[in-house]
Amino acid sequence: MCFAHFVSTLGFTHSKSDHSLFIYWHGGDMNYLLLYVGDTILTTAFDALRKSIMARLSSKFAMKNLGPLRYFLGIVVARYAGGLFLSQRKYALQIIERVGMSSCKLSPTPVDRKPKMSAHASIPYEDPFLSRSLIRAL
């Protein structure tokens, strides 16, 4: 049975903006299930609801509970009383390190506000592969 079809039988609907995200309304609370390659993230308003959904998913699919989410796709997840705090600081620092800019000084405006660019006077970028790989990583 297809995962998307099965979760729809549980009451989940596809997000209109992301087909790997499923939304389940329980009373006035929104609950989310995100499927990414082989990983599934489930957030619910109530622990009993989470356990119920996990049990139903486990009846059809091989699953392993890895506990509370801490890191996913370059995002660090921290819990606090009001909810979750998501940070991509670690991921951003890895990109800065990868391009050899970790020793650069901070700047309030990270770009030249008056660029001096010309099609004839510009120096070609020495490693276009690195630039393209960073764009794909984002």
Instruction: Convert 49-99 into a string of H (helix), E (strand) and C (coil).
Output: HHHHHHHHHHCCCCCCCCCCCCEECCEEEEEECCEEEEECHHHHHHHHHHC
- C-alpha 10/C-alpha 43 separation (Å) is 15
Length of the chain, please? 138
Residue at 121 is within a domain: no
Please give the pLDDT value at position 1.
Answer: 60
Residue at 112 is within a domain: no
Please give the pLDDT value at position 55.
Answer: 93
Residue-wise pLDDT tens for the chain (138 aa)?
688 899 999 999 999 999 899 999 888 888 999 988 878 899 888 889 899 999 999 999 988 888 888 988 888 999 888 888 999 998 889 888 988 888 988 777 667 777 676 667 666 667 777 777 777 655
Please give the pLDDT value at position 88.
Answer: 93
Residue at 115 is within a domain: no
- The contacts of residue 1 (CB under 8 Å, 6+ apart) are 60
Residue at 31 is within a domain: yes
- C-alpha 44/C-alpha 28 separation (Å) is 12
Is 78 found in the same domain as 38?
no
Entry pTM: 0.64
Half-sphere exposure of 117 (CA within 13 A, CB side): 7
Please give the pLDDT value at position 98.
Answer: 87
Please give the pLDDT value at position 12.
Answer: 94
Q: How many domains does the chain have?
A: 2
Is 131 found in the same domain as 80?
yes
Instruction: Report CA 90 to chain centroid distance, whole Å.
Output: 13
Please give the pLDDT value at position 125.
Answer: 67
Is 91 found in the same domain as 137?
yes
Is 59 found in the same domain as 44?
yes
Is 74 found in the same domain as 60?
no
- C-alpha 32/C-alpha 29 separation (Å) is 10
Is 44 found in the same domain as 78?
no
Is the separation of the CB atoms in 97 and 89 below 8 Å? no
Is 77 found in the same domain as 44?
no
Is 74 found in the same domain as 62?
no
Is 138 found in the same domain as 77?
yes
Is 54 found in the same domain as 31?
yes
- The residue segments making up the domain with residue 78 are 70-103+126-138
